Amino acid sequence: MKKLINDPLNVADELLDGLVDAYNGDCKSVGKRSIVKTDIPDGKVALLVGGGSGHEPIYHGLVGRNLADGAACGDIFAAPPPNIVFEATEAVDRGKGVLYLYGNYAGDVLNFDLGAELSDDEDIDVRTVLIWDDVCSAPPTEKDKRRGIAGLVPVVKLVGAASQTAATLDELEAAAKKAVLMTRSVGVSMSPGSIPATGKPTFELDEALIGLGMGIHGEPGVAEIPMTTADELTEKMLELIFEDFEKDEEVDALAEGDEILLFVNSLGATTMMELLIALRKAKAILTERGIKIYDVIVGPLVTCQEMSGISFSFTKMDDELKGYWDMPCQSNCYSKMEGRNGG
């Protein structure tokens, strides 16, 4: 594995510098390792995201116009320490409080909670909404144990838009909870990424197998299945999402006429070619069920270095979420014009 880096122990800092450069003035670096927008207006309810590095363009690439106001960035695959969370919180707060919105991992929860305690000491109002879209990581009755994976992209896009108009932290929290509740993902992995500091693969997986439901760090899912075709795998994966909407008592099953946002993600080395081939099958399955695609996201947005694998995320849309979706946005991770494809 040839990696284009300098000091392997310094990659998280250097990539953040590069990210700030990529924003060319729209964002700045704050404290030890946070990135925040330069133009957060007074009185705005702030949105803070964050997590470990190494998954670029998320998490810190989700800061941007009509998206998150800032991100607290950890080292490779490590949650940001509490002091970094606090520094980012202070930098984005405009007196209306700060919503923490991040993926449900023990390390992130521990550190963001500690950061929230530090922020509370400074009288900053903080609220937390966890993203737990990975339906393979726990049953619907234990959603608090689920991991956050690719679904965070549509969720942050929607909540970032909501944060532009939210009058209160309560209002933003409610929008975030809805976006999270409506978003479900299933992922697979075919081969590992590598840890920049050691050059070692993040996990081992038999050459003939696919990890169905595997997490973005190689956490096991529901089964290891033989390598198969794009169409068969897509069918299996979508089935798990449909099932989850059915089984979960907190949401309605997906039914004819429902509209979803469809996100097809690559974990890194899986090509756009493969994503599109799988997307084609997903569209056919959805069409057969009479489910409409409101809009599509496709690309390597939630990665784990050069890991190969793919995930599908559905977000069930209603008028409120559509309104958020239709706002344009711009960031390192995801950008769009006003409106939607096909609309």
Q: What DSSP element (H or E) covers 204? A: none
**Any contact of residue 65 with its own copies (CB under 8 A)?**
yes
Could you give the string, one character per residue 12-41, with x where binding to its own copies holds by CB under 8 A and - elsewhere? Answer: --xxxxxx-xxxxxx---------------
Residue 9 found at the interface with its own copies (CB under 8 A): no
Closest distance to another protein from the beta carbon of 285 (Å)? 27
Q: Is 55 assigned a catalytic role?
A: yes
CB closer to ligand ADP, 78 vs 222: 78
* Among candidate residues 39, 293, 25, 68, the one with its CA nearest the CA of residue 162: 68
Q: Which of residues 164-203 bind another protein (CB under 8 A)?
A: 195, 197-198, 200-203
Q: Quick check: 107 binds another protein (CB under 8 A)?
A: yes
Residues 94-113 that bind ligand ADP (CB under 6 A): 106-107
Q: Which of residues 244-273 bind its own copies (CB under 8 A)?
A: 268-273
- Spell 180-206 as b/e; 16+ CB within 10 A means b: bbbbbbbbbbbbbbbbbbeeebbbebe
Looking at residues 197 to 226 of the shown chain, list those that interact with another protein (rule: CB under 8 A). 197-198, 200-203, 215, 217-221
The token duo for 27 is: 């964002």
**Is there a contact between 313 and 150 (Cβ–Cβ < 8 Å)?**
yes
- Please say if 217 is a catalytic residue: yes
SS3 90: helix
Beta bridge partners of 312: 186, 264
**Stretch 221-240: interaction string toward its own copies, x if CB under 8 A:** ------x-xxx-x-------
- From the list 13, 56, 47, 130, the residue with the least C-alpha distance to 334 is 56
Catalytic residue, from 146, 147, 217, 336: name it: 217
Beta strand 223-226 with 209-212 is: antiparallel
Report d(CA 293, CA 316) in Å as an integer. 10
The residue ranges that bind another protein (CB under 8 A) are 9, 52, 74-84, 105-107, 110-111, 114, 137, 195, 197-198, 200-203, 215, 217-221
Positions marked catalytic: 55, 217
The residue ranges that bind Mg ion (CB under 5 A) are 77-78
